[in-house]
Every structure is written in C-alpha cells, then in structure tokens.
Amino acid sequence: MVRVTDEAIDRAAHAQTAAARLKERLYATITMISLVLGLAAGGNVEVPGAVATVVTGSVGLWLAALVADQQAHRVVHGTVATGRELRSMLYVSSPLLLSAVGPLVLIGASALGVMSLDAALATAAGVNVAALFAWGCIGGIRMGGGIVLALVAGGIDAAIGTAVALVKAAAGH
C-alpha cells in the first residue's frame, strides 16, 4: 500500500497552484498580444487611449477570472471563498494584472518620446510572443526532450499563441 504524506500532498497542491498560475500567465500573454495588435491596427490611438485600453483590458480580464473562480467555488463547495481559498484565487489570477506592465512601460517610453506609439505596441507584442516561445522551450526542456525539441516546442507555442491572438484581434476582442 502506498502511504501519502502531508509533505507529498503539500507538494502536489503547490504544483497544482503553480500550473494554474502559469496557465493564467500564458492566457494573459496571448490576450495582451491581441490587445496591443488591435490597438496598433486601429490606427488613430494616442498614448492616453492606449493606456486606458491596456489597463481596462487587464483589469477586466482579472475581474472576470475572479468572478468565475468565485462562482465555481460557490457551486462546488456551497460557500463563498474566503481566507486561504480567496488568497489562492488572487495569487493564481494576478498574472492577468501583471500582463499589463510591459505594454504600459513601453507606452510610457512612447509618451517620453523614446519611440513611437506604433513601435511601442509592436515591441509589446513581440516581447509577449518571445515570452510564449520561452515558456514553450522551458516546457520542452522540462519534458526531457533536449534542446532541439525544446526549440521546436517554443516555436510551436509562439506560433499557436500568435495565431490565437491574431484571431482574437481580428474578432475585436
């Protein structure tokens, strides 16, 4: 018979939380790519509008995730999440807010005259595509496939993420 220790349960719970947080980070990255591409394609956007769009997109996504998590918790457990469960929800969903930081820094650089707004938005999209590539590479390495397989996995993840972002941008989301 296999004996499960508290330490093993804690490790499994930590791994599950880390996976959920990374999922949110990847989702936020793809969403931010579509958002900045949509802004860039729209043309007549200025810095204040770009800032407002990035902030409201990020905050809206975060709030939607919290509402969905809380509703799912109520349905499954029959109670509102509080304490540790609520802190876990906030921790897991925080990348949805953090996804706005990079684009906002680049938009701020545009406001300071360091680059054009179009360049800032294109750079923000490029950095996020590179992040998808890096996460794909990390996943390939963690699976033990070696460098070549990791690079292929990174390329596939970046391509799929970019394709999804382009579809979302084209659909106006």
What is residue 165's predicted lDDT score, i.e. its pLDDT? 76
Distance separating alpha carbons of residues 66 and 68, to the nearest angstrom: 5
- Evaluate if residue 4 carries a pLDDT over 70: no
Please write the tens of the pLDDT for every residue from 75-126: 999 999 889 889 999 999 998 999 999 999 999 999 999 999 999 999 999 9
Distance separating alpha carbons of residues 97 and 90, to the nearest angstrom: 10
> How many CB atoms within 10 Å of residue 113?
7
- Which class for 62: exposed (0-12), middle (13-18), buried (19 or more C-beta within 10 A)? buried
**Virtual torsion, Cα 129, 132, 136, 141, nearest 10 deg:** 100
Instruction: Report, as an integer, the average pLDDT of 55-78.
Output: 93
**Virtual torsion, Cα 150, 152, 157, 160, nearest 10 deg:** -170
What is residue 172's predicted lDDT score, i.e. its pLDDT? 61
pTM above 0.95, yes or no: no
Please write the tens of the pLDDT for every residue from 20-46: 888 898 889 888 988 998 888 877 889
What is residue 81's predicted lDDT score, i.e. its pLDDT? 85
What is residue 157's predicted lDDT score, i.e. its pLDDT? 87
- Evaluate if residue 169 carries a pLDDT over 70: no
DSSP state of 115: S
